[in-house]
Structure 1
Amino acid sequence: MSEHIGKTGIVVRNIPRADPALIDELQRFGVATIHEAQGRKGLLGTSIRPIQQGIVTSGSAVTVLVAPGDNWMFHVAVEQCRPGDILVVAPSSPCTDGYFGDLLATSLKAHGVRALVIDAGVRDTHTLREMGFAVWSRAISAQGTIKETLGSVNLPLVCGGQLVHPGDVVVADDDGVVIIRREEVPQVVVASRTRADLEEQKTLRLAKGELGLDIYNMRVRLAEKGLRYVDNLEELGD
């Protein structure tokens, strides 16, 4: 399927999606835990940032390739969205224009879309926050766009440095955005549960005053690296 990256003039109507219950469960773990649990992969670049704070979301990716300065394919994509989806958008060449604002957000919200992740710009951010429509974007720009050039919907694309296939699961929060391959969702959920449980146990131990040095068995390795303790500077001599 990756051989279709960059193709234009195509809309794929039917894409496979992961189990909705598992998608919703991933939301409770957050980006950092999932990224670690799946082997530190799938994390979008740090240039993709939330325009709001305190929102965690997850959903199936509907992918949209757009031309620079042209948001025509957004309107095409809305028709292909289902409740619980997240729109993942990238331009065919770098562009930070404001592709997306309150009108498109209203349309997506009416179709149950949970969020937008875009490797480009958005505008109307104050209104978007008031609406409660979550966005992770590369830029904020009042610069408008036109509707002239075809892109594609539901073909693989690269967003924030990561390959995203339609139907992959997107999890986004204040820390950023992570992509989970659709076929890997069940095992990533299990791994995330395990990691979350371990972190909870460590949190309880740290709260009781235990040291990370002991919880993580760091002392031997630190000594092997040459770390030594002295009671005062005089012990170091000249």
Structure 2
Amino acid sequence: MSRTVVVTDPPRADVEDAAALGRFGTATVHEAQGRRGYLGPQHRPAWPGARIGGTAVTALCWPGDNLMIHVAVEQCREGDVLVVATTSPSTDGLFGELFATALARRGVRGVVLDTGVRDVAELQQMGFPAWSRAVSAQGTVKATPGSVNTPVVLGGQVVHPGDVVVGDDDGVVVVPRGDVAAVLAAAAAREEKEATNRAAFQEGRLGLDVYGMRGKVADLGIEYVTHDEWLRQQ
């Protein structure tokens, strides 16, 4: 497939399912799908407290060039998350407040960038969520063709258009479109289990007992000794 293509009608996950995954949060969704899909610690929120779940519209740009973000805005609709990758590493500020204004008008829930973001104060004031590998005032050009709504790679994860993107203060996780229903069910079960465990901890129980780990500790040969015994063994 040509790199200079715009796919106008990719199938998307259900927008309400995407929002539901967003409410569970990145860590729960990551665990619920077998610890897969996490973009890694390098993708950080531009401002604290943002939380989203939406369907991916992807853009592949050249470093220092945001032409294809302009092209991608037209393909975005309510409930989407714009996901931007570059053809080689870049930390330039490809995205800022004016892009966010245009996307917010279209009902887009946020942006995830494998490059840089700027206008952080304005983004926070707007309440527009953004995750990126860098914050950078470095400007860009609009000159080089790329692609929209083709698979891209961020943080070692392949993101297909229409996949679900979940983001919060813990980072970003991607759920393949075909796995959404199963991950939703697993996330709900995990949240219920965590509520039970939280209540146990509030009552004073220990993780060793709640998680049934005492037998494992013994099997691993971990010994309990008094301070005097430990000193004598040195």
Q: TM-score, normalised by structure 1?
A: 0.95
Runs (5+) with no aligned partner, structure 1: none
After superposition, residues 72-221 of structure 1 pair within 5 angstroms as 72-221=67-216
Which consecutive aligned stretches of 4+ in structure 1 deviate over 2 angstroms post-superposition?
A: 234-238
Deviation at 1:125, TM superposition (A): 0.9
Distance 1:25 1:142 in 2: 34
Match of 1:237 in 2: 232
Instruction: State the one-letter code of the partner of 1:25.
Output: A
Alignment-mate amino acid for residue 215 of structure 2? V
SS in 1 for 2:133: strand
Q: C-alpha distance in 1, partners of 2:94/2:17?
A: 31
1:180-205 CA-to-partner distances (Å, cap 9, x unmatched) read: 00011000000100011000100000
> CA–CA distance in 1 between the matches of 2:125 and 2:230?
62
Output the CA distance in 2 between the equivalents of 1:159 and 1:231.
Answer: 50
Distance 1:127 1:81 in 2: 21
Map 1:35-74 onto structure 2 (within 5 A). 35-74=30-69
State the AA in 2 paired with 1:85.
D
| Distance (whole Å) between structure 2 residues aligned to residue 114 and residue 61 of structure 1 | 10
User: 1:212 offset after TM fit, Å?
Assistant: 0.5
Change in 2 beyond 3 A, CA 1:117/1:235? closer
- Gaps of at least 5 residues in structure 2 are none
Per-residue CA deviations over 1:188-232 (Å, capped at 9, x if unaligned) read 000100011000100000100011110111111111111111233
- C-alpha separation in 2, matches of 1:234 and 1:20: 61
- What is the identity percentage for the equivalent residue pairs of Structure 1 and Structure 2? 54
Q: CA deviation at 1:130?
A: 0.8
Aligned residue identity for 1:205: A
Q: 1:24 aligned to 13, 19, 36, which one? A: 19
TM-score (norm 2): 0.97
